[in-house]
Amino acid sequence: MPFAWMLSTSLKTLPETMIFPPEWIPKHLVWSNFARAWGSGPFLHYMTNSLVIAVGILVFQMMTIIPAGYAFARYPFAGSGFLFGMVMITLMIPSQLIFLPVYLQLSAWGLLNTHLALILPFASSAFGIFLLRQSFKQVQEELLEAARLDSAKEWQIIVKLMVPMARPVLATFALFSFIAHWNDYFWPLVMTTDETARTLPLGIARIRQEEGVANWNVLMAGNIILVAPILIVFFFAQRQIIRAFVYTGVK
């Protein structure tokens, strides 16, 4: 219903958005609302930044959560329980609570208004480590022993055995991560002061500032532009998500 209402409003004239009771079907489809939204700022630049940041974060997260999840699940070492508990504690700390020291550190490194300022604070994910640890623990130990008997090294076991078996979980986490950072408004707002690295959610806010809050049709057209890539990603990932929760299971 919210998606349908957003699409309906994006195709209306401004007077039609004020009618009460509201009408779902516009009398005349106003496609120019999308052109007005797109032309209200450098939307292609915003979209490129959002894509670079969301994909960059995901790449860094995959590089950290896969070996960390494997270590906690299949490589016992002294203090592993304590360290995993510390990882889980970070799930209870919102990023807004620690943004000031992170901001000061990135400022000292001269990274403000860069893509790295929006990528590095999220280079790992406690939620992703937890998901992969639970998935890796379900793999039978006999498979790992057979691989070691065939002279497979630990990194080969991770890449050729564990990762393919955890593909549905990885796809599910990738979707969650992409959506979260594609829609993120707070962190880009804090870490940027110009248009260099600003993202699409900030561009949508700019529509509201330039067009005024009364122009709901243009604002909703901008939100359609924001949501469309997420829907495309979900369309291609939905089969893996179903496999992750139905067949593999998250326990």
Which tens digit of pLDDT belongs to each residue from 72-106?
988 888 888 899 999 999 888 887 788 899 999 99
When pLDDT is cut at 50, 70 and 90, the band that residue 251 belongs to is very low
Length of the chain equals 251
pLDDT at 249 over 60: no
Tokens representing 60 are 């860094």
What pTM did the predictor assign?
A: 0.83
Structure tokens at 114: 């860069």
Amino acid at 107: S
Which pLDDT score is estimated for 209? 57
CA end-to-end span of the chain, whole Å?
32
CB 244 within 8 Å of CB 193: no
Tracing tokens 């490129």 back to the chain, one arrives at 48
CB 85 within 8 A of CB 123: no
* Cα dist from 111 to 97, 115, 184, whole Å: 20, 8, 19
Please report which helix (H) or strand (E) contains residue 52, including its range. Answer: helix 43-74
With H, G, I as helix, E, B as strand and everything else as coil, classify residue 196. coil
Whole-number Å distance between alpha carbons of 34 and 40? 10
Q: How confident is the model over 44-69, as pLDDT tens digits?
A: 899 999 999 999 999 999 999 999 99
**Tens digit of each residue's pLDDT (9 = 90 or more) over 129-152:** 999 998 888 888 888 888 888 888
